Amino acid sequence: MKTKFLIAFFALIVSYGTSSLYAQTTTTEGASDQVTLNIRLKAIQTLLVNSGQKVVNLDYNTTSDYANGVSSDQADHLTIYSTGGFEIKAKSSSAALTNDGGKNIEVSDIKITASKGATNKLIGVDYLSSALSADGTTIVKSDMGGVNQTFNIKYQSAGADKYINHYKHKEDPTYFTTTVTYTIYAK
């Protein structure tokens, strides 16, 4: 019986001592405990095409246009927001600019060139010039992010009288069309 009493007493002492190990710290100033505070940053990328520039026309109006090609400069064409580095890619919806009459113009005839826009404060950006493709091509690379950064885009089509036989008499003008999609990716 004495042994059982000693075992019970010893178990009570051990359990009291163990529970005090898990108690909050109490001082004469009060009790304390801790919390972990995290700031969790997620990637955000947005890209907008200037609403006044949703249609870009490359018009062949003169013999010089057919001989030298045509270009259209779109100032502040794209506006981006990016947390951290990013890439912008341009992609055609198809491999050719199409026309109902059966002839097509390969999208690779169109050259897209990016440059710094009016509100662009980014440093160390790679502005690229690339032939348009249905697979997509990178036109801007940046290791830094930014808010409301703008980019100019120049669209340029072929010269050398390449399209001299693409005009149709009953269509004035004759349209060849594709959709270009710009996408921003976190880098």
Domain count within the chain: 1
The verdict on residue 21 lying in a domain is: no
Bridge partners, 30 (sequence order): 27
Residue 28 lies in a domain: no
Phi, psi dihedral angles at 67 (to 5 degrees): -75, -40
Distance CA 128, CA 55 (A): 22
Q: What is this structure's pTM?
A: 0.80
Closest CA to 124 of 106, 160, 91, 149: 149
Q: Is residue 67 part of a domain?
A: yes
In our burial notation (b when 16+ CB lie closer than 10 A, e otherwise), range 23-47 reads eeeeeeeeeeeeeeeeeeeeeebeb
Q: Phi, psi at residue 8, to the nearest 5°?
A: -65, -40
Domain membership of residue 157 (yes or no) is yes
Domain containing residue 127: CATH number? 2.60.40
Q: Along the 187 residues of the chain, how does pLDDT read in single tens digits?
A: 555 554 555 555 555 555 545 555 666 789 999 999 999 999 999 999 999 999 999 999 999 999 999 999 999 999 999 999 999 999 999 999 999 878 899 999 999 999 999 999 999 999 999 999 999 999 999 999 999 999 999 999 999 999 999 988 787 899 999 999 999 999 9
